[in-house]
Amino acid sequence: MHKLTLAIAFAALPLPAFAQTPTEIAAMRTAVAADASRNEALLERLVVQNSGTLNLPGVKAVGELVRSEFEPLGFTVNWEDQSAVGRAGHLVARHKGSGRGKRLLLIGHLDTVFEPSSPFTGFKREGGRAIGPGVGDDKGGIVVIIGALRAMQAAGTLKNADITVYLTGDEERAGAPAEKARAGLVAAAKASDIALEYENLATENGTEYGTVARRSSTSWELKTTGVTGHSSGVFGDALGYGAIYEMARILDGFRRELPEPNLTYNVGVMAGGTPAAIDAAGVTATGSGKTNIVAEATVARGDLRTLTPEQDARVRGKMTAIVEKHLPRTGATLTFFDGMPPMAPSEGNRALLATLNAVNRDLKLPEMPEYDPAKRGAADSGWVAAIVPTLAGLGPVVGKAHAEGEWLDLSSLPRQALRNAAYLTRLSREPRSR
């Protein structure tokens, strides 16, 4: 083959990923070690500032704390106001790179499930753990992001990286409509090549896992009706079966007919009687009646978790079909409320895990297998996974999330900061495909 032809042929081959160099890794290690106390102090400042989703000033205050960390790293920081959907807003930090490497979207959240009324407050250290509201979900994830970016800056690998950090202010309780609350995140994904989500690292029996999929989190409401009257006429032509028997039929139908892998459908609250009702928030149901009165109404609320949009559509169809087979003289309506979409598994997601495992080998860390998506909750990564390859769970090791006593393994902060600094460096050097 002619030399010129050979050169053209090689030029047409896909460019390999540009891994971090040993010198860069050494600089990152040094920076992460030097920043250990600083990162723990930042974690404490974030945790002691309450940022329950509905504490709008508190969420914004955490955003301002984070802003002061990103701006010295060369990021342009904006606050996306979300008052139109009843929430505080989102913090978006953008770092302009060389324009050649892949554009990275890093996702986390400022809010927690602990509102100011929660008795779980403050920050303390016990042994190797930090304990406090939101310490792991997701303030520890934010610290990992910042620690990794500082390590990249110290190693000189940040200057050419094209990175957007998108920290939502309502991940735990999204504003409504959710599509409007997540419009900015979706737009950021469309302007990116890769998305990485920084909720907690999945661990089990000492093994650390990569999260290539997470299930959805949506909810449903089921209402049934019946003809009320004296219980002596129940099951007869005039009264039929009543609302409670209709509810029992439907829920038992769900139990028997819906099961399949990666699917759950919980019933969380229910009431029946004459009458029965549920509050607007869907968390308090009330009913009254007597043993000798056929119930005229029941109401139940539950959640639905699926792995893919196709599974979600199929299961909703099956639930609707079960509901429509009414007992005599009864009626029922089923309403779905959209929440977080699923982060479906994909080859693109698995390719990101393969690259992370290449970084693990470089850092002499164990390789990470795929985590079972049925063991993880939903997250904002579900909003972007259908747009770009996505890897989740890149934050620290935590426990008791969403509960009093939530803790973070402090030794995981430097490990995750280093791992992510090397990982982001490698990904940011891969050539864009579009």
Quick: pLDDT tens for 302-352. 999 999 999 999 999 999 999 999 999 999 999 999 899 999 999 999 999
Mean pLDDT of 110-114: 98
Same domain, residue pair 40 and 164:
yes
Comparing 6-15, 40-49, 159-168, the range with the smallest average pLDDT is 6-15
Mean pLDDT of 185-201: 98
DSSP for residue 138: I
Same domain, residue pair 224 and 175:
no
Domain-embedded: residue 65: yes
pLDDT tops 90 at residue 11: no
Q: In a 3-state reduction of DSSP, which class is residue 78?
A: strand
pLDDT at 15: 37
Q: What is the CATH number of the domain that holds 320?
A: 3.30.70.360
Same domain, residue pair 286 and 146:
no
CB contact at 8 A, 137 and 194 = no
Domain-embedded: residue 163: yes
Same domain, residue pair 207 and 267:
no
Same domain, residue pair 229 and 210:
no
Q: What is the pLDDT of residues 413-429, one digit of tens each?
A: 999 999 999 999 999 99
Longest dimension (CA), the chain: 97
Q: 29 pLDDT band (50/70/90 cuts)?
A: very high
Same domain, residue pair 330 and 222:
yes
Domain-embedded: residue 1: no
pLDDT tops 90 at residue 163: yes
Mean pLDDT of 159-177: 96
pLDDT at 383: 97
d(CA 369, CA 244): 46
Q: What is the pLDDT of residues 120-131, one digit of tens each?
A: 999 999 999 999
**Structural domain of residue 294, as residue ranges?**
217-340
pLDDT tops 50 at residue 183: yes
Same domain, residue pair 250 and 397:
no
Domain-embedded: residue 39: yes
Single pTM value for the model? 0.91
Domain-embedded: residue 328: yes
Q: 12 pLDDT band (50/70/90 cuts)?
A: very low
pLDDT tops 70 at residue 3: no
pLDDT tops 80 at residue 164: yes
pLDDT tops 80 at residue 154: yes
Last residue of some domain: 292, 317, 340?
340
Same domain, residue pair 59 and 205:
yes
Domain-embedded: residue 434: no
Domain-embedded: residue 2: no
What is the per-residue DSSP string for 1-46?
--HHHHHHHHHHSPPPP-PPPHHHHHHHHHHHHHTHHHHHHHHHHH
Same domain, residue pair 302 and 247:
yes
Cβ contacts of residue 126 below 8 Å, gap of 6+?
407
Q: 283 pLDDT band (50/70/90 cuts)?
A: confident
Q: 434 pLDDT band (50/70/90 cuts)?
A: low
Domain-embedded: residue 4: no
Last residue of some domain: 340, 359, 374?
340
Mean pLDDT of 87-110: 95
Same domain, residue pair 189 and 252:
no
d(CA 140, CA 410): 9
Q: What is the CATH number of the domain that holds 354?
A: 3.40.630.10
d(CA 5, CA 286): 79
Same domain, residue pair 125 and 15:
yes
Same domain, residue pair 175 and 222:
no
Last residue of some domain: 288, 310, 340?
340
Residues 144/146/151/152 CA torsion (nearest 10 deg): 110
d(CA 362, CA 357): 9
User: Number of folded domains in the chain?
Assistant: 2
DSSP for residue 239: T
pLDDT at 362: 96
